């Protein structure tokens, strides 16, 4: 009985100390987007056209063009339980992508408010 109580106590402590997974969808500024990426790397996707992506993107982003005929299948390759960070040029395409991801059951989505335009205006780094 003593071992059982100790095991339950240990489990309760581990559960209480475990980082709580955020849920839902957030639209955040470039500063907050960058900070959240640092705190929880997650999965970063750029939903712009490949040409736009090649001209400059956020370091570590995977290009999943929203209007590609395989977009939904490519989304299925992502982990729905892990945070997904999404952006486009100005925000319209990422908003569409967020709707699709929500319908597919993604648990936590962080959208860059104003897209890469806002990211660049904030002086944040891009990779080529």
DSSP-derived secondary structure letter, 5: H
H or E element: which one contains 43? strand 43-46
Contact predicate 58/44, CB 8 Å: yes
CB 123 within 8 Å of CB 86: no
**Active-site hit among 58, 66, 75, 88:** 88
The helix (run of H) or strand (run of E) holding residue 4 is helix 2-17
CA angle 108, 111, 113 (to 5 degrees): 150
Q: Is 88 an annotated catalytic residue?
A: yes
> Are 21 and 108 contacting, i.e. CB atoms less than 8 angstroms apart?
yes
Catalytic residues: 88
């Amino acid at each position: 009985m003593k071992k059982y109580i100790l095991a339950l106590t240990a489990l309760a402590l581990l559960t209480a100390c475990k980082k709580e997974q955020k849920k839902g969808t957030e639209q955040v500024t470039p500063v907050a987007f960058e900070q959240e990426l640092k705190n929880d790397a997650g999965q970063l996707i750029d939903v712009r056209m490949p040409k736009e992506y090649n001209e400059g993107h956020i370091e570590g982003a995977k290009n999943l063009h929203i209007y590609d005929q395989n977009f939904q299948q490519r989304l299925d390759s992502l982990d729905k339980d892990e945070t997904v960070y999404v952006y486009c040029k100005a925000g319209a395409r990422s908003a569409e992508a967020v709707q699709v991801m929500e319908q597919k059951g993604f648990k936590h989505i962080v959208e860059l408010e104003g897209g890469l335009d806002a990211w660049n205006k904030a002086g944040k780094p891009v990779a080529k």
